[in-house]
Amino acid sequence: MIIKCSETKTEQLYRILIGSVVPRPIAWVSTQSTNGLNNLAPFSFYNVFSIKPPMLGFSPGYKRPATADSTAIAKDTLTNVRETGEFVVNVVSQFLAEQMNQSSADYPPDVSEFSAVNLTATPSTTVKPPRVGEALISMECKVFHIHDLGGSALVLGEINCIHLSDEVVKADANSGQLSIDLDVLQPVGRLSGNLYSTINDRFEIARPEI
């Protein structure tokens, strides 16, 4: 079977792509509106793209795309990052999966997901949006660029500050080099439909030397 994207309905193409690009990491993005209301929502179109400078990106969609007769209505996250230029990406561990999923509900704009799903809005260090206090890793970001894609947007952010819980950090006994203990972090990945994945099954392959 060959799928020609230009000839395929958006819904069908969406299902094929989210079932093909798996597992996807989840950006649990906290933002703050210009009037100080905190917002929290998960996005699985997300990854890290650069280390110098440290850069990540995620893609929030629209509540309603633009049509010939109406303008687009952006999701609260996209509105907030456009207006404030700041956000925090919180890593979703397995013990937070239910609250992450619940925070994706379509709450009214005047409701904070932090309160709705019983999470702690902990002050950040370099940005106004709070981080999820229960998250083991949180990355404070300033918007680098927002590129409109039509039915969604690509938000690129430079990472200013990373909060790591002590229990998720391990140091090499010889070099002192820090790394993340995945057995503690237990990150959750997004599959298709209502499916998620964990990292309990892993294998190691050394990089080749030529």
End-to-end CA distance of the chain: 37
In a domain, 144, yes or no: yes
The mean pLDDT of 101-122, rounded to a whole number, is 94
In a domain, 15, yes or no: no
In a domain, 9, yes or no: no
The mean pLDDT of 66-93, rounded to a whole number, is 88
In a domain, 52, yes or no: yes
Computed over every residue of the chain, the mean pLDDT equals 93
In a domain, 92, yes or no: yes
In a domain, 17, yes or no: no
Closest to 64 (Cα-Cα) out of 154, 156, 193, 150: 150
74 pLDDT band, cuts 50/70/90, is: confident
Q: Does the structure show a pLDDT above 90 at 70?
A: no
User: What's 62-81 look like in SS3?
Assistant: EEECCCCCCCCEECHHHHHH
Asked if 72 and 61 touch (Cβ cutoff 8 Å), the reply is no
Domain count, the chain: 1
pLDDT in tens, 146-182: 999 988 999 999 999 999 999 999 988 788 899 999 9
73 pLDDT band, cuts 50/70/90, is: confident
d(CA 113, CA 164): 22
pLDDT over 70, % of the chain: 97
| CATH code at position 158 | 2.30.110.10
> Which residues form the domain of 184?
26-196
The verdict on pTM exceeding 0.85 is yes
In a domain, 209, yes or no: no
The mean pLDDT of 52-81, rounded to a whole number, is 85
Angle at 79 between CA 75 and CA 84, to 5 degrees: 150
In a domain, 207, yes or no: no
Q: Does the structure show a pLDDT above 80 at 67?
A: no
